[in-house]
Chain A
Amino acid sequence: MATEALGEERPALFLRKATGLVRGWSVRDSMIYACLATNFVTLGIYEFTFAGPAFPTGQLITAVIISGIWVSFLVIAYSGLIVTIPRAGGDYVWQTRILGSGLGFVMAATGWWFILWLWAPIYGNILSVQLFQPLWATLQWTWPAGGAVWFGTKNGIFVVTLITIALAGILVSIGMAGYAKIQRWCFIGGMIGFLVIVLLLLVNSHASFVSSFNLEAHKLFGINNAYASTNTAAAKLGTTSSLGFGPLGPTMLLVPAMMFFILWPNWGSTLYGEIRGASDFRRVFTGMFAGLWITVACTVVFLLLVAKTIGWGFYQNLNTLDYNLKPQFGIWPYPFMFAGWMVHNTAFQVALILVLSLWFFGWVGTLFLSSTRVIFAAAFDRVLPDRAAEVSEKRKVPFYSLVLMLLPAVGLAAIYSYSATFRTYTLDATLVIAVTYLFSAIAVVILPWRKPELWQASPASKIKVLGIPIVPVSGLITIGLLAFCLYEWLSNSLYFVNSRDSLYYMGAMYVLAIVLYIVARIVRSRQGIDLGLINKEIPVE
């Protein structure tokens, strides 16, 4: 039997040739996924349109950096979980194993399945405002009626959301193999697009931007002296905004809003392989941490360049008009489109919009991926009917799970599109996942007590600062972050989360998950199957 020795001076262990002894994957791949998940283009600048005007005295750059530092502890906590129980099932596996089956199911179903129904129209809306609207505006296409503006109408949002849902559904069906390659190229292309934006904002002066903005706005939208008229219109709404580092209070209120894009570096992180060592923790951590901080760095660079070339007050004025449902050009104020206007060439502007849309296309495929995993896991645990995990023989399409994901998503898309009020519940989508994360953070804190042997054997237990294991401590700091965000979301009406209907909507998801679990327990019990046995540990002695 062939063997391999691992160690420095003398071998620390010998491996024989056996199935599954895989080597760690590249940190670069992991970093790309973390970076695409904390997508500062699709999610970040989309969120700034809301966050800037909602908290005009808060400092965006400071808030992004504080959020990055705080979420870094979440990265440490999740790295600890991943190297201790390295399963693709993620939160579902950790929570069911450490906290119990029922709680694990409710948190996974709400955070990784039901809430994705709401993410579908959010994705759709982002596609609408970052691709269709700017493209139509640049090309001055007038079909459908209203041209670019149509994509912001109820019908427009609904149609684009249906396209998004179909696209995500197809990607689930064809599998990740082909899509993973696309993702990598999307990341590279998207980064090139962003570098072009950086270059444009860097080499052009503020005066040059103002003149380009006025010229292109007149050409595309027939508005004279658009720069000044934007400021005038926003001034009527009483907006004030500056770029700096204080005060801290309103800046901290921006942190829960920043979670909309910065909370996801752990999205899709998995670990395979059975021989785990300290290097695994470092590798898992580095991939997520690098992805997170590339996002933070890109965001800060972008915002600084906005202040230099576009003008901070002007950028916030554009956002304020949109926030007050009076967008200057009738469409979402896409800053990248405005940056592209500094080159007076339609082909270049179109190409730039298309290249930057790669940030969306590299990201959309994962919309329903986690839902599929949760549905399959719940079906294998007999909580859902067996059919939920069926895959068609010929085409390998998980038909029933697609129905469980797509149909409610279409329903939610209709409500989102046709109810302007429901559209304001966007941060519900972050809140529900944050609750799921909160329980994973609790799991990591209690892990050393709940599963002492597992913890002792984990490389995570060896990562210490001043003799204190940093993984559980990071779990505590993560709990602090999530508790702070939850408190603010639920107590401050500026996030549009704590209205009665929003709370009913979120509450209904938890009720649905609890009911599903209880019904499953009862039905299976009548069939003579005790679901309570699933995670009951067999005694060792």
Chain B
Amino acid sequence: MVPVRVFFATDIHGSEICWRKFLNAAAFYKADMVILGGDVTGKVMVPITTHNGYWEVVFAGERRRIESKEELEKIQTQIRNRGSYPALMSPDELDHLSKEEGAVDERFGTEMLSSLDRWLDMADTKLGSGQVPCILNGGNDDFFEIDPVIESSPCVTFAEGKLLDLDGFHLVSMGWTNPTPWDTFREAPEEALAPKIDAIAELVPDMERTIFNFHAPPYGTGLDEAPALDATLRPIHGGAVMKPVGSKAVRDAIVRYQPMLSVHGHIHESRGIKKMGRTLAINPGSVYGDGVLQGALLELNAKKGKVTKYLLVNG
């Protein structure tokens, strides 16, 4: 049986350059399938105000006056590449957004969904007839409205909460994480995560050929080290102190079920690899803001039920 080459990346947070690279990763790394592990949507919306004959935007700490459409497109691309959403609006609309309760949320949602639509169109063009399986998952930072949008894509498979059969392997996916200080969408207490995992894991016929695709990394494994924060979310001691923030339910599930491979994200700073019994656990980390797509290149042998090769890459 021929080994299967998988490219796994995660946490691109709206970075269009990373999405484009993700779509090109299969060809570049000669991968048989590509998986994006969650936190697809961005965190920042940058208003571009329209005026008579020009636009204005504050980007990277600098106020810019844009005189031409070409220049406008260029700055929009730069904003998208950094993982932000450029939002064209009049000064009045901007005032309205700033003052009206819920208006920003609504606009944010619109921008996220329209961006995702564009991304899925790109995937259609790039991946064509779906010869290369492309699997997407939610992450704790992704609002639930993206789920049906991805579900409807003809060439992208939405994996959240599912057991997928991938040509000799099983993929179990969960974008939920243990609670964070930011109170995000898909997070739940550890006691609630364990039954969620068990509910899908128990459907798996063969753990030896199974991949856990859980957004939260396992607790205390070095794949979950984030800067320790104070009550105001400020890193303490100059950011020198790291602490484990992963999920205990995820760790327990890996230890109990011992899948062949377990891929994670969520904690961008914690790029790493950890052997947990027979399970190889990986967090490729993320530096989406730099336009670099960090990922894991994995070669899986279905016959042996083993990860035969792995490499963390900065594409």
B-contacting residues of A (Cβ < 8 Å)? 1-3, 5, 7, 10-26, 29-30, 32-33, 84-85, 87-88, 96-97, 175-177, 180-181, 183-184, 268-272, 274-279, 287, 376, 379-382, 386, 389-391, 396, 453-454, 456-459, 461-462, 527-531, 533-541
Contacts of A2 in B (CB 8 A): 105, 183
A538 CA to B293 CA, complexed, in Å = 8
The answer, yes or no, to whether B20 is at the interface (CB within 8 Å) is yes
Q: Name 8 A/B residue pairs within 8 A (Cβ), A-sorted.
A: A7-B58, A22-B235, A96-B314, A274-B289, A278-B60, A459-B61, A528-B309, A538-B25
A529 CA to B3 CA, complexed, in Å = 14
Contacts of A457 in B (CB 8 A): 60, 78, 81-82
B63: nearest chain-A partner, CB-CB: A12
Are A97 and B292 in contact (CB-based, < 8 A)? yes
B141 → chain A closest CB, angstroms: 4
Are A176 and B266 in contact (CB-based, < 8 A)? no
In the A-B complex, the 6 residue pairs with the closest CB atoms = A278-B61, A12-B58, A180-B237, A29-B238, A538-B315, A277-B61
A8 → chain B closest CB, angstroms: 9
The answer, yes or no, to whether B167 is at the interface (CB within 8 Å) is no
The answer, yes or no, to whether B115 is at the interface (CB within 8 Å) is no
Contacts of B272 in A (CB 8 A): 376, 380, 389
CB-contact partner of A270 in B29, B109, B240, under 8 A: B240
A18 CA to B139 CA, complexed, in Å = 11
CB-contact partner of A21 in B29, B233, B315, under 8 A: B233
Count CB-based A-B contacts (< 8 Å). 225
Are A536 and B43 in contact (CB-based, < 8 A)? no
- Per-residue A-contact encoding for B228-243, CB less than 8 Å = 1, 0 else: 1100111111111111
Are A539 and B62 in contact (CB-based, < 8 A)? no
Contacts of B220 in A (CB 8 A): 396
Are A29 and B289 in contact (CB-based, < 8 A)? no
Contacts of B312 in A (CB 8 A): 380-382, 534
Contacts of B60 in A (CB 8 A): 276-278, 457-459, 461-462
A287 CA to B84 CA, complexed, in Å = 28
CB-contact partner of B311 in A12, A462, A533, under 8 A: A533
A23 CA to B39 CA, complexed, in Å = 20
A97 CA to B288 CA, complexed, in Å = 14
A529 CA to B299 CA, complexed, in Å = 10
Contacts of B63 in A (CB 8 A): 12
B264 → chain A closest CB, angstroms: 13
Are B314 and A534 in contact (CB-based, < 8 A)? yes
Are B314 and A26 in contact (CB-based, < 8 A)? no
Which of B17, B28, B43, B313 has most A Cβ within 10 Å? Answer: B43
Number of interface residues of B (CB under 8 A): 82
Contacts of B58 in A (CB 8 A): 7, 12-13
Contacts of A276 in B (CB 8 A): 60-61, 289
B interface secondary structure, majority: mixed
Contacts of A278 in B (CB 8 A): 60-62
A12 CA to B141 CA, complexed, in Å = 22
Which of A7, A25, A382 has most B Cβ within 10 Å? Answer: A25
A25 → chain B closest CB, angstroms: 4
CB-contact partner of A22 in B28, B44, B234, B289, under 8 A: B234
Contacts of A379 in B (CB 8 A): 273
Contacts of B43 in A (CB 8 A): 15-16, 18, 21, 274-275
The answer, yes or no, to whether B50 is at the interface (CB within 8 Å) is no
The answer, yes or no, to whether B257 is at the interface (CB within 8 Å) is no
Assuming the A-B contacts A5-B104, A19-B141, A534-B313, are A25 and B297 also in contact, with contact meaning beta carbons closer than 8 angstroms in the complex?
A: no
Are B239 and A271 in contact (CB-based, < 8 A)? yes
Are B44 and A25 in contact (CB-based, < 8 A)? no
Are A1 and B108 in contact (CB-based, < 8 A)? yes
A203 → chain B closest CB, angstroms: 35
A33 → chain B closest CB, angstroms: 5
A6 → chain B closest CB, angstroms: 9
Assuming the A-B contacts A33-B240, A272-B235, are A13 and B45 also in contact, with contact meaning beta carbons closer than 8 angstroms in the complex?
A: yes
Contacts of B287 in A (CB 8 A): 85, 87
A527 CA to B45 CA, complexed, in Å = 45
Contacts of B222 in A (CB 8 A): 389, 391
B57 → chain A closest CB, angstroms: 8
Contacts of B17 in A (CB 8 A): 453, 540
Other A-B pairs beyond A11-B94, A272-B235, A274-B13, 8, CB < 8 Å: A10-B98, A14-B44, A23-B232, A29-B238, A88-B239, A457-B78, A533-B313, A538-B25
Are A380 and B228 in contact (CB-based, < 8 A)? no
A386 CA to B280 CA, complexed, in Å = 11
Are A5 and B98 in contact (CB-based, < 8 A)? yes
A176 CA to B287 CA, complexed, in Å = 24
Which of A276, A380, A536 has most B Cβ within 10 Å? Answer: A380
A200 CA to B175 CA, complexed, in Å = 63
